[in-house]
């Protein structure tokens, strides 16, 4: 597209395709206006939990998937890091489908040499919920809690029980929510420090931000349910948060023409 911006990397998470809340029109519009060498999907792109309960897959969901596959075909590297809502993909680390590679977590090296741990973030739920107790018990309890979370998640999955939902999240009182966000950020930043990297890029809690926490760069990509945010890496390695607004009044026909032109140029 003529008026699109090109970045080194785009990070997107928590689209929740298959839930009625997914803002597919806005995401599609964002993807039309932004190109990248690499796109990293940071989990909860497809909402498997929601789809299991009732199948909701309008055309907009297909359009988003098609758009991503089309970018992959044209040479964009796409990495899909599953989250808790699309954990059915976690059984396939290293797998490729339609040019998209699946990975549990990755280390992303930015153009400025800074290294970022990229993961969804749900593996820290147990730690976050019991932060005070674990701080008291020490490191072994922290590691045990993360291991336990994996087991509990598997059991809940067997039983068909989700353990994270934004309706429950929205019902949290403001003060609890603020505590939860702060605790989550701290725990994830600590994980990055242990991994010996400069920063962390995650999703999961639907709270977009770029900030420094105890000397670690903490980046949360937000979501495409409410905030409609993406994090982009510029060619010099600096990171930027983009909040995408209602599509500009570009006639649908014009967009279609642009895409046909793109395809002809690519062919
Ligand atoms: Mn999640």
Q: What is the pLDDT of residue 54?
A: 82
Distance 199 CA to ligand 1 centre (A): 19
**Claim: this prediction has a pTM higher than 0.85:** no
User: Residues lining ligand 1 (ion), CB within 5 A?
Assistant: 44, 83-84, 122, 204
Average pLDDT, the chain: 85
Average pLDDT over residues 230-244: 97
Tell me the C-alpha distance between 17 and 159, whole Å: 22
Residue 261 pLDDT: 59
Instruction: Output the pLDDT for position 106.
Output: 97
All domains in the chain, ordered by first residue: 5-119+200-266 (3.60.21.10)
pLDDT tens, residue by residue, 184-234 = 999 999 999 999 999 999 999 999 999 999 899 999 999 999 889 999 999
Confidence of residue 1 (pLDDT cuts 50, 70, 90): low
Q: How many whole angstroms separate alpha carbon 259 and alpha carbon 231?
A: 24
**Residue 169: what pLDDT?**
56
Strand partners of residue 229? 243
The angle, 0 to 180 degrees and rounded to 10, between the axes of the packed helices 59-73 and 24-33 is: 20
Q: Report the separation in Å between the CA atom of 30 and the middle of ligand 1, taken as the mean of its atom positions.
A: 21
Residue 56 φ/ψ, nearest 5 degrees: -135, 100
- Which tens digits make up the pLDDT trace of 97-145? 888 999 999 999 999 999 999 999 998 887 776 766 666 666 666 667 6
pLDDT at 161 over 70: no
266 alpha carbon – ligand 1 mean position (Å):
35
């Amino acid at each position: 597209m003529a008026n699109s911006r090109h970045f080194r990397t785009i990070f997107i998470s928590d689209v929740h395709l298959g839930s009625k809340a997914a803002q597919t029109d806005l995401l599609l519009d964002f993807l039309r206006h932004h190109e990248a060498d690499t796109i990293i999907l940071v989990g909860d792109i497809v909402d498997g939990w929601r789809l299991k309960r009732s199948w909701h897959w309008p055309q907009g969901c297909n359009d988003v998937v098609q758009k991503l596959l089309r970018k992959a075909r044209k040479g964009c590297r796409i990495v899909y890091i599953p989250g808790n809502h699309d954990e059915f993909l976690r059984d396939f680390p290293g797998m490729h489908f339609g040019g998209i590679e699946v990975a549990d977590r990755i280390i992303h090296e930015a153009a400025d040499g800074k290294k970022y741990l990229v993961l969804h973030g749900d593996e820290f739920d147990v730690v976050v919920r019991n932060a005070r107790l674990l701080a008291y018990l020490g490191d072994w309890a922290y590691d045990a809690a993360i291991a336990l979370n994996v087991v509990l998640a598997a059991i809940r999955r067997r039983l068909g029980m989700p353990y994270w939902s934004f309706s429950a999240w929205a019902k949290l009182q403001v003060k609890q929510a603020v505590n939860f966000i702060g605790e989550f950020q701290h725990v994830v930043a600590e994980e990055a420090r242990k991994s010996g990297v400069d920063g962390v890029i995650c999703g999961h809690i639907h709270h977009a931000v770029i900030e420094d926490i105890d000397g670690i760069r903490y980046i949360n990509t937000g979501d495409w349910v409410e905030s409609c945010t993406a994090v982009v890496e510029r060619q010099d390695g600096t990171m930027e948060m983009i909040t995408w607004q209602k599509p500009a009044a570009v006639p649908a026909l014009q967009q279609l023409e642009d895409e046909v032109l793109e395809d002809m140029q690519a062919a």
